[in-house]
Amino acid sequence: MTENVDTTLAPKRVRPPSNWLSRLFESKQLGWIALALAVAIPFINATPYVLNVLTTAAIFVLLASGLNIVVGYCGLLDLGYIAFMAVGAYTAGIVSKAFELPLLFTVPVVLVMTILAGLIIGAPTLRLRSDYLAIVTLGFGEITRITANNLAITGGPSGIFGIPGILKIGDFDFQQPAVFYFVTVFVVAGMVLAAARLGKSRLGRAWRFVREDEDAAEAMGIHTYKVKLLAYIFGAIWGGIGGVLFAGHFSAVAPQSFIFLQSALVLMAVVLGGMGNTRGVVLGALVISLLPELLRDLAEYRYLAFGILLVIVMVFRPQGFWPARGYEPERVPTGDKEPAVAGGTK
Amino acid sequence: MMQLIWDGLFVGSFYALIALGYSMVYGIIKLLNFAHGDLYMLGAFIAFAVLSSLGGIPASLSIGALLVVLLLSMLLTGTAGVLIERFAYRPLRGAPRLAVLITAVGVSFSLEYGVAALAGPNPKAFPIRLEGEVFNLIGARVSLPQIVLMIIAGLLMIGLNSYIHNTSTGRAMRSIALDRNASLLMGINVNSVIARTFFIGSALAGAAGVMAGAYYGKIDFLMGFIIGLKAFTAAVIGGIGNIKGAMLGGLVLGFVEAFGAQWFGGQWRDVFAFAVLILFLTLRPTGILGERVTERV
C-alpha cells in the first residue's frame, strides 16, 4: 500500500509518460539541463538588465521551493511567507553593516533569526486548525512589514542601504553582477535540490502523510505537531537564505519589498506549478517572475488574471498544473535492516 | 479616557459588522472567506460609482442619499457574495481545506485587482462626506455622523440577531452549522440557505464599507485587506462561528486598539491588534464566548 489515498491510481503509476513533453519533464537530466541553461545565458546575453531580471527570478525560485516545503509537502497554507525573507534580509543587512562583514558571514545569524521567527509563529498556531495558521501568517507578514517600517534599527520607511557585498577575496569582488548571478544560481540550485531530497526523505513522507490525512498520520505514530513545525522551520530557513541573496542583490532593503502581494505571488508560483512537485514549482516560479517582464503592457490586468487563474486551477485542477506523481521509489527489502516502525514504511 | 472608550466603541462597531459575516460563513460551512474584507471594499466602490454617476448631492440630503445608496450597495455586494459562493466555493465544498483556502485567496486577489483595473489604482475621494457638529458627551468628543453610523450598525446587528433566532431560515442556518447532512435529511435546502448566509454576510460587509467611505472620505482598492484581518481577529476574540461573540469581539478589539494606540503610539495599532490575535490563539483559541469543539473524524 502506498501513502497515496486513492489506491485505484496505483496501477497507473508505472506507465511511462506518453508524449515527448512529459517525457522531457520527467527525465532525470532535467535538473542538469536547467542548470546548464541558467549558467549559459550570461554567455549569450549579459546586459545588466538581463542579469538583474535573471538574478531576481533565481531568488524567486528559491522562495517558491521553500514555500513548497510548507504548502506543497505539508499542506499548511502560509500567506506571509515573504516575512521570512524580510527577517533574513534585514538581519543580514543590519549585521553586515554594523560589523562591516561580508554578507556571507551573516548566514549563521540569519538562520538563527529565521528559525526563531518560524518558532514564534508556528508554535502557537500549528496545534490549531490549519486555517488559523493561514490567517496568522497573513497577520505576521503585515506585523513584520509594519515593524520594519517603524523601528529605528531597520531604517524606517527608507530601509537599509549600502549593504556590503556578499564576499571579497583580495581584488576579486563577488558582487559584480555576472559573478553574483552565478553565485545565486548555484546557491539556488543547491537549495532546490536539497528541498527536493528533503521531500523524498522519511520526514518528507511524514509531511505528505500529514497533508493527506492528519488523523491517520497521528494514528500511525507520527508526531504531527513536531513534523508540521519542522516543515514550517525549513520553509523559514529557505526564506531567510532568499533574504540574504535579496540583500546582496539590491544592496538595500526596504519595507515596501515585503508587502502581501509578494507573498501571494510566491504562493501562486507554488500552486500553479503543482504543489509538492519541485520541477513544477521551479517552472511556476520562472513563469510568474519572468512573465511580467515579457508582458509589460498588460500590467494592470496581470494580478486580476493571476487571481482568476488561481480560482480556476483550484476548481478544475486542485493539484496544480503539474502535480507530483503519487509514486514512491520501489523499496527493495534488504533483510538486514530492522523494520521501520513509523514514517510511512509498511 | 472617555474619549478612548468612545473611539473604541465606534471603531469596534465597524469591526463587529464585518466580523459578523466572517463568523456566519465560518460557522455554517467552516470556510475562512479571505475575500470578506474585499467585499467591504466592493461595497464602498459600488456606492462610489452610484454616487458619482448621480452627480452632486446637496449637503442637506446627504444622510438620506447615504441611506438609499447603503441599501443599494448592500443588495449588490450581497449578490456578489452569492455569486462568489456559487462559482468559487461551491464546486470545492468537499475538497481539501488547502484548496478552498487558496481559492479564497484567489477570489480576494481577483476582487482587489478587478476593482483596481476598473476604477484605477489611486485612492478615490468619496462623494458624500458626513460632516456634523462635534459636541461633548461625558468628557468625550462625539460627532453626529458617528452617532448616526453607530445607530445604523446597531440596527443591522439587532436585525441579524433576530433573523437568526426567530425565522425559519435562521433556524435552518443554525441547524446546518450543527450538522449539514442531518439538515439535508430533514428537508432543508442546504445550498439555498448557504447562499443566503453569504448574501447576508456580504451585505453587512458592504454596508460597513459604505459607512467607512462616508466617514473617512477616502477609499482605495486595498482598504479591505487590513480590515478583513481585523475582523477575523474580532471573530476569533469573540469565538468564531458565534454571532454574539463576533459583536463582542469587535467591540473588545476596538477598545484594545484604542488603548493600545494611546499607550504605544498610533503606528503600532495594527501590530498590537495582531499580537492580541496570536495571544488569543495561544491561550484561548475558542474565544470569549466560544465553546470547545472537538474535531470529529
When CB atoms are compared, the residue of A77, A143, A275 closest to B271 is: A143
Distance from CA of A307 to the nearest CA of B (A): 4
- For B228-244, the pLDDT digits (tens) are 888 888 888 888 777 88
Domains and CATH numbers, chain A: 46-316 (1.10.3470)
Q: Which residues of B touch A301 (CB under 8 A)?
A: 113, 117
List all residues of chain B from 83 to 142 with a beta carbon under 8 Å from chain A.
87-88, 91-92, 95-103, 105-114, 116-117, 121
Of the residues B23, B26, B110, B237, the best mutation for testing chain A's interface (the one with the most A CB atoms within 10 Å of its CB) is: B110
Residues in chain B: 297
- Is B98 in contact with A130 (Cβ distance < 8 A)? yes
Which residue of chain A comes nearest to B111, CA vs CA?
A: A304
B274 at the A interface (CB within 8 A)?
A: yes
Q: Does A5 touch chain B (CB under 8 A)?
A: no
| pLDDT at residue B284, rounded to an integer | 78
Task: Please state, in angstroms and as integers, the Cα–Cα distance from residue B189 to each residue in B26, B92, B178, B182, B243, following that order.
Answer: 18, 18, 15, 11, 22
Residue-level pLDDT at B6: 84
Contact B291, A163 (CB under 8 A): no
Query: What DSSP designation does B237 have?
Result: H
Q: Give residue for cell 440630503.
A: B61
Contact at CB, A310 and B88, closer than 8 angstroms: no
The pTM of this model reads: 0.82
Q: Tell me the mean pLDDT per 10 residues along chain A, length 346.
A: 46 56 72 85 84 92 94 89 93 89 88 93 80 82 87 83 78 79 92 92 91 88 92 94 92 88 88 84 88 73 84 80 58 50 43
Q: Give dist(CA B109, CA B82) in Å, integer.
A: 17
DSSP state of B209: H
Residue B191: CB atoms within 10 Å? 13
B65 or A242, which is more confident = A242
Residues of B in contact with A275 (CB under 8 A): 98
Smallest Cβ–Cβ distance between A130 and the set B97, B267, B277 belongs to B97
Helices in chain B by DSSP H: which ranges? 2-29, 36-54, 62-84, 97-119, 144-166, 168-178, 180-185, 190-216, 223-238, 243-264, 269-283
B118-177 pLDDT, tens digit per residue, is: 888 888 888 777 766 777 777 777 787 788 888 888 898 889 888 888 999 889 988 888
What is the model's pLDDT at position A193? 92
Question: What residues of chain A, 91 to 110, have a C-beta less than 8 Å from chain B?
Answer: none
Cα A98 to Cα A96: distance, rounded to the nearest angstrom: 6
Asked whether A110 and A168 are in contact (CB, 8 A), the reply is: no
Complex ipTM value: 0.81
Which is nearest to A231 in space by CA: A137, A326, A136, A126? Answer: A126
Chain A residues inside the 8 Å CB shell of B285: 128, 132
DSSP-derived 3-state class of residue B96: coil
A307 shares contact with chain B (CB less than 8 Å):
yes
Residue A308 sits at the chain B interface (C-beta within 8 Å) = yes
- The answer for residues whose C-beta is within 8 angstroms of residue A43's C-beta and 6 or more apart is none
Are A134 and B113 within 8 A, CB to CB?
A: no
* Model pLDDT for residues B199-215, shown as the tens digit of each residue: 999 999 999 999 888 88
CB of A82 closer than 8 Å to CB of A71 = no
**B195 within 8 A of B86, measured Cβ to Cβ:** yes
Dist. CA B77–CA B71, nearest whole Å: 10
User: In this complex, is the C-beta atom of A291 within 8 Å of any C-beta atom belonging to chain B?
Assistant: no
pLDDT of residue A241: 94
Alpha carbons B177 and B135: distance in angstroms, whole number: 45
* pLDDT score at A159: 85
User: What is the least distance, in Å, from the CA of B52 to any CA of chain A?
Assistant: 23
Alpha carbon separation from A231 to A67, A108, A122, A265, B234 (Å, rounded): 9, 19, 10, 20, 29
Contacts of B99 in chain A (CB under 8 A): 314, 318
Contact B92 A314 (CB under 8 A): yes
pLDDT of residue A346: 39
Please tell me the predicted confidence (pLDDT) of residue A212. Answer: 85
Fold assignment, B2-283: ABC transporter involved in vitamin B12 uptake, BtuC (1.10.3470)
Residues of B in Cβ contact (< 8 Å) with A140: 274
Buried b (16+ CB within 10 A) or exposed e, A285-314: bbbbbeeeeeeeeeeeebbbbbbbbbbebb
How far apart CA B63 and CA B61 sit, in angstroms, is 6
Residue labelled with grid coordinates 508582458: A295
Smallest Cβ distance to A310: which of B92, B102, B112? Answer: B102
Which residue in this structure is represented by grid cell 563577488? A174
CB pairs under 8 A between A and B: 125
Q: Chain B residues with CB inside 8 Å of A309's CB?
A: 106
Mutate to test the interface with A, among B36, B98, B264 (most CBs of A within 10 A): B98
B6-62 pLDDT, tens digit each: 888 888 888 998 998 888 888 888 888 888 999 999 999 999 998 888 776 666 667
Q: How many CB atoms lie within 10 A of CB A231?
A: 29
Q: B185-197 pLDDT, tens per residue?
A: 998 899 999 999 9
B281 closest CB neighbour out of A132, A149, A318: A132
B267 contacts on A by Cβ (under 8 Å) = 146, 149-150
Cβ count near B172 (within 10 Å): 22
Q: Cα–Cα distance between A240 and A316 in angstroms, integer?
A: 34
User: What is the distance in angstroms between the Cα of B166 and the nearest Cα belonging to chain A?
Assistant: 31
Nearest-CA distance from A301 to chain B in Å? 6
**B252 phi and psi angles, rounded to 5 deg:** -60, -45
Minimal Cα–Cα distance from B130 to chain A, Å? Answer: 30
Choose from B101, B122, B270, B297 for mutation: most chain A CBs within 10 A.
B101
Distance CA(B8)–CA(B11), nearest Å, equals 5
- Sorted by sequence, the CB contacts under 8 Å of residue B96 that are 6+ apart come out as A75, A318
Chain A nearest C-alpha distance from B19 (Å): 14
Chain B stretch 12-51, residues whose beta carbon is closer than 8 A to a beta carbon of chain A = 32, 34
Write a three-state SS string for chain A.
CCCCCCHHHHHHHHCCCCCHHHHHHHCCCHHHHHHHHHHHHHHHCCCHHHHHHHHHHHHHHHHHHHHHHHHHHCCCCCCCCHHHHHHHHHHHHHHHHHHCCCHHHHHHHHHHHHHHHHHHHHHHHCCCCHHHHHHHHHHHHHHHHHHHHHCCCCCHHHCEECCCCCCEECCEECCCHHHHHHHHHHHHHHHHHHHHHHHHCHHHHHHHHHHHCHHHHHHCCCCHHHHHHHHHHHHHHHHHHHHHHHHHHHCEECHHHHCHHHHHHHHHHHHHHCCCCHHHHHHHHHHHHHHHHHCHHHHHHHHHHHHHHHHHHHHHCCCCCCCCCCCCCCCCCCCCCCCCCCCCCC
Backbone torsion region of residue A320, taken as left when φ is above 0, otherwise alpha when ψ lies between -120 and 50, otherwise beta: left
Any chain A CB within 8 A of the CB of B264? no
CA dist., res. A233 & res. A119, Å (int): 7
* Confidence tier at B290 by pLDDT (50, 70, 90): low
**Most B CBs within 10 Å, among A71, A78, A143, A154, to test the B interface:** A143
- d(CA A172, CA B42) in angstroms, rounded, equals 55
Q: Rounded mean pLDDT of chain B?
A: 85
With a pLDDT cut of 90, the percent of chain B lying above it is 20
Does the CB of A134 have a partner CB in chain B at under 8 Å? yes
Q: Are strands A160-161 and A252-253 parallel, antiparallel or unpaired?
A: antiparallel
